[in-house]
Each structure stands twice: as C-alpha cells, then as structure tokens.
C-alpha cells in the first residue's frame, strides 16, 4: 500500500494521494480475480459504476486532470467495457461519466470539435474524444515508410534506420547514392536485402516521422526539421536537362520529388 501511495503521490498533494489510494482500493475490489470469466462479467456488471464515485467528484476530477491522456483513455475504455457488458443497458451508457468528461475537457482545450450528441448506434464517447490526441501523435509520428526499393524505420529512441537491396544503390540513375548510405564497391553486386541499419549521419538526430516517394526520402525531426535525400525524379515527357551551373547544393537536395 505504501508503494501505491508513493506512486499516486507523484505530483499530488497528500490529500489527493489519499483519495487516489481509495480509488485504487476500489478498483482492486472491482477487479478481484474471478472464479470464471462469465462470472466475472456478471459480477462486474452487477457492480454499479458508483464504486468509482465513492470519492467526492470534485477530488476525482482533480485527480483525473493529472492523468496522462493515454492513462485516461485506458481508464475510460475500462469503464466503457464494464458498462457495455452490463446485461441491461444503463442510462450511464449515454451519459459521459467523470472520465469521459475529463477527456472532453482535454479535447476541447486543444480546439478539437466534439459533437453534442453521440452518432447513431455509438455506445460511448471514448473513441470520439480520444481522436484529437491520437491524431496529433499519428500525424506527427509515422515511424515507417516504404519506397520503391527501400524501407525506412524509426525505432523507439527516434533513430533512423533503413533497409534496402544492395543493388538499389544503382537505381539512383544519376550517380547519386539512393538511400543515404555509401555501400562502396560492393553495391550492385548483390540483390540480398540489407536488414534495417542505422543511418550513421543521423544517429544524433531524433526522428519522429519518415516519408518516402519512389526514390527519395524525407525524415522529420522531433524539433520540426526536415531532412531529405535520394534521387531526383526526372520528368518523363521532356528530355532531361543538362547541367545546372551555379545551382546551390541545398537546392539540389531540396528539389527532389
């Protein structure tokens, strides 16, 4: 119990932590190991969600406001699961509880449009309220991309990796390495796939998102910088232009696509 208290006390006042502990105890009672799954569902369904509201709503709201959005989402999903499993539909299904109210508050604070009524057939607000944060993360974080002959990966630490065929290096067609690696004289000699390999020059740049066209790649860093590399894709319908004297080096890299 002491450790629970310490965990919950992180960032909370003593009073809030004590109330949080009460919630933990309540949740543990709710999730006591059941004799069988069906008995558990029946048992949980019989337990009204009021178990969560033995704590004064004002205190509960304060506690919920300290939750990370994903923790809130988990809690809301759990509540949803319990309520949806109820043998008889409850008015609670249509009425956002405290957790969902907090989710809605977060969503609106981020400028997310939240409808005033649930779409027909929907049982819970949870999926609708979660979208703002999820979309923000998803839009910003695309950890993999597939190009014509290569794949890009970003690992948990934000390190850029790529996998390609060894002969893909020649596919640049303009004498430029395609994928950010100089594979040396061995390039082109084999079609063996190269497993995902760290791109050395980017090892100290935290990447959050990658994108790939046919032969070029983009990487977005955590601070909003864009990196590009690969080959230029020449327009097919017109003859290739010869040489561009004086063109800045930066432009050459930025102008691919």
Partner 1 sequence: MAGPRRIETLERVESVAAGVYTSAAVDDRRRLFTWGGAAREEETSLGYELDPETECQLTPKRVDALSEDRVVGVAVGYGFTLGVTDAGTVFSFGDSGHGALGHGLSTSEVLPRRIEALAETGRRFVAVAAGQYHALALTEEGQVYGWGDRDANGHWRNKRTPQLVTALAGICVLLVYAQGLWVLVA
For partner 1, the binding residues (CB under 8 A) are 111, 113, 115, 119, 121-122, 127-128, 130-131, 134-135, 138-140, 142, 145-146, 160, 176-177, 180-182, 199, 201-202, 209-220, 223-229, 232-238, 241, 247, 250-257
Closest distance of CB 237 from partner 1, Å: 5
Q: Which single residue is written with the structure tokens 């977060």?
A: 106
Bridge partners (DSSP) listed for residue 163 = 151
The residue (of 83 and 209) whose beta carbon lies closer to partner 1 is 209
- The residue (of 83 and 227) whose beta carbon lies closer to partner 1 is 227
**Nearest distance in Å: CB 89, partner 1:** 18
Which of 57/200 has CB closer to partner 1? 200
Minimum CB separation from partner 1 for residue 67, in Å?
A: 20
Token pair, residue 10, equals: 């992180």
Q: How many CB atoms lie within 10 A of CB 14?
A: 9
Query: Closest approach of Cβ 192 to partner 1, in Å?
Result: 21
Question: Residue 242, CB half-sphere, CA atoms under 13 Å: how many?
Answer: 0
Residue 58 or 250: the one with the smaller Cβ distance to partner 1 is 250
Nearer to partner 1, 49 or 213 (CB): 213
Least distance from C-beta 39 to partner 1, angstroms? 29
Would you say 36 or 185 has its CB closer to partner 1? 185
Secondary structure of the chain as H, E, C letters: CHHHHHHHHCCCCHHHHHHHHHHHHHHHHHCCCCCCHHHHHHHHHHCCHHHHHCCCHHHHHHHHHCCCHHHHHHHHHHHHHHHHCCCCCCHHHHCCCHHHHHHHHHHHHCCCCCCCCCCCCCCCCHHHHHHHHHHHHHHHCCCEEECCCEEEEECCCCCEEEEEEHHHHHHHCCCCCCCCCCCHHHCCCCCCEEEEEECHHHCCCCEEEEEECCCEEEEEECCCCEEEEECCCCCCCCCCCCCCCCCCHHHHHHCCC
Pairing relationship of beta strands 150-154 and 160-165 according to DSSP bridges: antiparallel
Shortest gap between Cβ of 139 and partner 1 (angstroms)?
A: 5
Nearer to partner 1, 34 or 89 (CB): 89
CB of 212 to partner 1, least distance (A): 5
């Amino acid at each position: 119990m002491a450790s629970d208290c310490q965990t919950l006390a992180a960032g909370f006042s003593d009073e809030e932590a004590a109330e949080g502990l009460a919630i933990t105890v309540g949740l543990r009672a709710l999730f006591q190991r059941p004799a069988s799954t069906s008995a558990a569902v029946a048992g949980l369904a019989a337990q009204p969600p009021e178990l969560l509201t033995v704590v004064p709503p004002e205190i509960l709201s304060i506690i919920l406001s300290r939750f990370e959005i994903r923790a809130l989402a988990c809690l809301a999903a759990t509540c949803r699961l319990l309520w949806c499993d109820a043998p008889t539909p409850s008015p609670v299904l249509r009425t956002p509880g405290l957790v969902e109210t907090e989710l809605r508050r977060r969503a609106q604070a981020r400028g997310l449009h939240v409808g005033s009524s649930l779409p027909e057939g929907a049982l819970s607000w949870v999926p609708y309220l979660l979208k703002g944060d999820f979309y923000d993360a998803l839009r910003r974080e695309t950890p993999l991309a597939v190009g014509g002959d290569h794949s890009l990966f970003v690992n948990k630490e934000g390190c850029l990796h790529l996998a390609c065929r060894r002969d893909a290096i020649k596919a640049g067609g303009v004498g430029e390495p395609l994928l950010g690696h100089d594979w040396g004289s061995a390039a082109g000699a084999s079609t063996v796939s190269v497993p995902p390999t760290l791109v050395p020059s980017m090892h100290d740049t935290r990447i959050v998102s990658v994108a790939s066209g046919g032969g070029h790649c983009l990487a977005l860093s955590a601070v909003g910088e864009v990196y590009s590399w690969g080959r230029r894709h020449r327009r097919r319908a017109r003859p290739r232009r010869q040489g561009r004297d004086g063109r800045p080096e930066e432009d050459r890299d930025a102008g691919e696509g």
